[in-house]
A and B are shown apart, each in its own frame.
Chain A
């Protein structure tokens, strides 16, 4: 009997204690971070920004960069081109809407956008401990970089898929499905981010800050976004806007904050804009603090970068060193995807860039070029020598064994001493935006605006720099619009060969079908021959997106 009482007694006790749990669960957990309370210091906002940069280093991001930007075009040839593989179907333009690379590229760029949105949507929560001008500037720069990165990810999406859904900055489970915006709306969104980033950031970050996107990166990407909206042969305000930015970036002509923003006071009050972008509010400004007015001139940008082959200390380097560790953040490098050897000594990470270049420069490269293609690109140009064939030596004395008949670019090569100790890491940065691109974009815009003479001057600035490699004196020669355009495109192809941008460059030149089909017609597997003009300039929306949104996200025409 006593035993029974004890049993029931325990059972009753347990019941009471269980009911007490409910109250306990209702209590707020102390010290738990939510996005409501996390971003209260600039350090925490910085960690969210770091997470955004992290996407650029991910394997998937870089993987889809070369697959779409390089492998689909006419400068390389690949190992995986059978029609039974997803990659083979992609480069042959015989893929369907469920292709996994098409889905990967979509997802990784949206992942980046989501992380950038976390920074942008929460920047207003940051509390400052002092009213120091520098404190405001630090938050402003974090926010500005997030805007640059968000624009970079959207630009990637837009040039791959056309108009895409613009995600709300604050995601909510009630509106996960967002319909596509038009191409114009997307570009307006990208431009706005870049214009704001351009006034929020320092021109260029050096030393311990090297690697951060500066206003140079924002203006360069803005020029590129404008160029992709413009049509060769049709004069438009996009080309004219590019000329204006080129005058500021390259020629050193002054530009005001209002000019850069295309600020319209009827849309947003200047002080409200300053507050939103973390410029120190006017009422708190002390007499020694700078005040950025709409009419203030932006900091000089034209001295920040140059075409010369010099490293970040100003010492001369070789052309190809611009792509090695020696030339990281060199005078011509505007934005790089920074890879740093991890300190943990482990392999297997997916965001340390391990295979970014290894796959392409190895004994069995996944893509390579050929003697014929090199002749077509370079002719007798000295830049040809930075591509190596089988059984030849790299500048640091390593034997290249990529396979008979194959040529690989030294832009993909990592010198022995720059390689990481740990498998899975990458030793050198990927160059994303270069000053030569800015100068050539400026040249192209000048030619499109009927100023061939100034275009030739910019084009020959690039050529004169290349001439230093072999003491050549050959320059490009003036001619009519079409001749100038062809020469600029020829120089673009030589200078940016194998930098994973060829396909998109061809599309925006409106000649992707012509070039890629001609390339495919010469090949045994006719890859590229099936490129469909008017359809394949953009890829399909991943089928999973169409399905999961129940058709709200509509498919591109022709797919």
Chain B
């Protein structure tokens, strides 16, 4: 009786184990299926591309096709990215056409069976940047002077004729370097028909035509007008020349001090002045001033408003304020 019992137990144990063992042998990886949805296949530089994995897999990897992530070069240390929860985002830093490869893999528990399926899509990355963010003259003595934007395609650069630096007043030439702030490195700039050079000096005494060409090929034209801050070349009251002081911080702020004999009546003086260029006009408030004709009350400091206009564009204007103070000996 006892013997039969034991053998029965053994047999039934083996029978119980059998299906487990058998199932181990048959454990194969599920069939993988690679599938992805790319939200856009034409992208700008740095624009986010979103890929949703829509297939079956235990693990998903994506090769983006750009430098060091090229699927074709996977045996040469190029790598893909692991996709978590079926969502992957990426952006490209340079223009080109890239093959995005998605790899879906499955495996069994002991990784004795590995299966892969791939699918791919081509994406086109375009660099079409033609927007100038800023233009400057980077070497106005030690200063970088930025141009001002007028409308969509016009810029006006306002430059001083002289600057105050310590005790000196060096003149500022109109032959200057330029610096363009554009968001893409691939965009090309042409100034006056020639390729832009960062160390080339450009003649800003004339209006410069600027052409910007994106990597994609879009062209856009800009115009750079230059206006110098207007100044008095001479300023006299009763034949006495005023002494000019420049503001070291603000190129558009000038002041003149005229020293006259004590007791001079300046309540209705007629100053004589000359402006540095033909395109400049002097105003007090909105009243135009004519040298040797307009009478002014100098008992308190008087603020002249000088306006210089580009000969090529009436909108491109530079304005200075000149404060004239009369002292008595």
Which residues of chain A have a CB within 8 Å of any CB of chain B? Answer: 96-98, 233, 450-453, 455-456, 477-484, 486, 530, 532-535, 543, 546-547, 550-551, 555, 557-559
- For the complex, give the distance between the alpha carbons of A96 and B83 in Å: 11
Query: B213 at interface (Cβ–Cβ under 8 A)?
Result: no
A233 touches B146 (CB 8 A): yes
Q: Can you list the 5 inter-chain pairs with the closest CB atoms, starting with the nearest?
A: A452-B249, A482-B144, A478-B248, A480-B143, A483-B143
Inter-chain contacts of B89 with A (CB < 8 A): 97, 555, 559
A534 touches B250 (CB 8 A): no
B233-261 Cβ-contact flags toward A at 8 Å (1 or 0): 00000000000000011110000000000
A478 touches B249 (CB 8 A): yes
A479 touches B48 (CB 8 A): no
- For the complex, give the distance between the alpha carbons of A477 and B142 in Å: 10
Residues of chain B from 17 to 75 with CB closer than 8 A to chain A in the complex: 46-48
In the complex, which residue of chain A has the Cβ closest to the Cβ of B185?
Answer: A533
Q: Looking at A477, A482, A530, A534, which has the most chain B CB atoms within 10 Å of its CB?
A: A482
A559 touches B163 (CB 8 A): no
- For the complex, give the distance between the alpha carbons of A550 and B84 in Å: 10
CB A248 to nearest CB in B, in angstroms, measures 23
Q: How many A-B residue pairs have CB under 8 A?
A: 83
B48 touches A558 (CB 8 A): yes
Chain B interface bracket (under 10, 10 to 19, 20 to 34, 35 or more): 20 to 34
Inter-chain contacts of B134 with A (CB < 8 A): 233
- For the complex, give the distance between the alpha carbons of A481 and B85 in Å: 51
In the complex, which residue of chain B has the Cβ closest to the Cβ of A453?
Answer: B249
In the complex, which residue of chain A has the Cβ closest to the Cβ of B146?
Answer: A233
CB A480 to nearest CB in B, in angstroms, measures 4
B146 touches A534 (CB 8 A): no
A532-B93, A547-B84 are known contacts. Are A479 and B183 too (CB-CB below 8 A)?
A: no
Inter-chain contacts of B93 with A (CB < 8 A): 530, 532, 535
Query: B315 at interface (Cβ–Cβ under 8 A)?
Result: no
Inter-chain contacts of A486 with B (CB < 8 A): 142, 144
Q: List 21 A-B contacts (CB under 8 A).
A: A96-B81, A233-B146, A452-B248, A478-B164, A478-B248, A478-B249, A480-B248, A482-B143, A482-B145, A483-B143, A486-B144, A533-B183, A534-B183, A535-B46, A535-B91, A543-B84, A546-B87, A547-B84, A557-B91, A558-B91, A559-B91
B145 touches A557 (CB 8 A): no
Select which of B48, B142, B250 is within 8 A of A555 by beta carbon.
B48
Q: Looking at A450, A479, A480, A558, which has the most chain B CB atoms within 10 Å of its CB?
A: A480
Residues of chain B from 103 to 139 with CB closer than 8 A to chain A in the complex: 134, 136
Q: Per DSSP, are chain B's interface residues mostly helix, strand or loop, or mixed?
A: loop
In the complex, which residue of chain B has the Cβ closest to the Cβ of A511?
Answer: B181
B249 touches A480 (CB 8 A): yes
Inter-chain contacts of A233 with B (CB < 8 A): 134, 146
Select which of A97, A452, A483, A530 is within 8 A of B250 by beta carbon.
A452
B87 touches A557 (CB 8 A): no
A532-B46, A547-B85 are known contacts. Are A482 and B91 too (CB-CB below 8 A)?
A: no
- For the complex, give the distance between the alpha carbons of A456 and B164 in Å: 14
Inter-chain contacts of A96 with B (CB < 8 A): 81
Select which of B47, B81, B136, B142 is within 8 A of A479 by beta carbon.
B142
- For the complex, give the distance between the alpha carbons of A534 and B46 in Å: 8
B183 touches A480 (CB 8 A): no
B129-171 Cβ-contact flags toward A at 8 Å (1 or 0): 0000010100011111110000000000000100111100000
- For the complex, give the distance between the alpha carbons of A223 and B250 in Å: 25
Inter-chain contacts of B136 with A (CB < 8 A): 482
Q: A482-B144, A483-B142, A558-B48 are in contact. List 11 more A-B contacts (CB 8 A).
A: A98-B82, A233-B134, A455-B249, A477-B165, A477-B248, A478-B248, A480-B250, A535-B91, A550-B85, A558-B91, A559-B90
B250 touches A450 (CB 8 A): yes
Inter-chain contacts of B90 with A (CB < 8 A): 559
A484 touches B249 (CB 8 A): yes
Inter-chain contacts of A484 with B (CB < 8 A): 249
Select which of A453, A455, A480, A546 is within 8 A of B145 by beta carbon.
A480
Inter-chain contacts of B249 with A (CB < 8 A): 451-453, 455-456, 478-481, 484
CB B162 to nearest CB in A, in angstroms, measures 12
Inter-chain contacts of B48 with A (CB < 8 A): 555, 557-559
Inter-chain contacts of B160 with A (CB < 8 A): 480
CB B173 to nearest CB in A, in angstroms, measures 16
B146 touches A482 (CB 8 A): yes
Inter-chain contacts of A483 with B (CB < 8 A): 141-144
Q: Looking at B46, B89, B136, B145, which has the most chain A CB atoms within 10 Å of its CB?
A: B89
CB B172 to nearest CB in A, in angstroms, measures 10
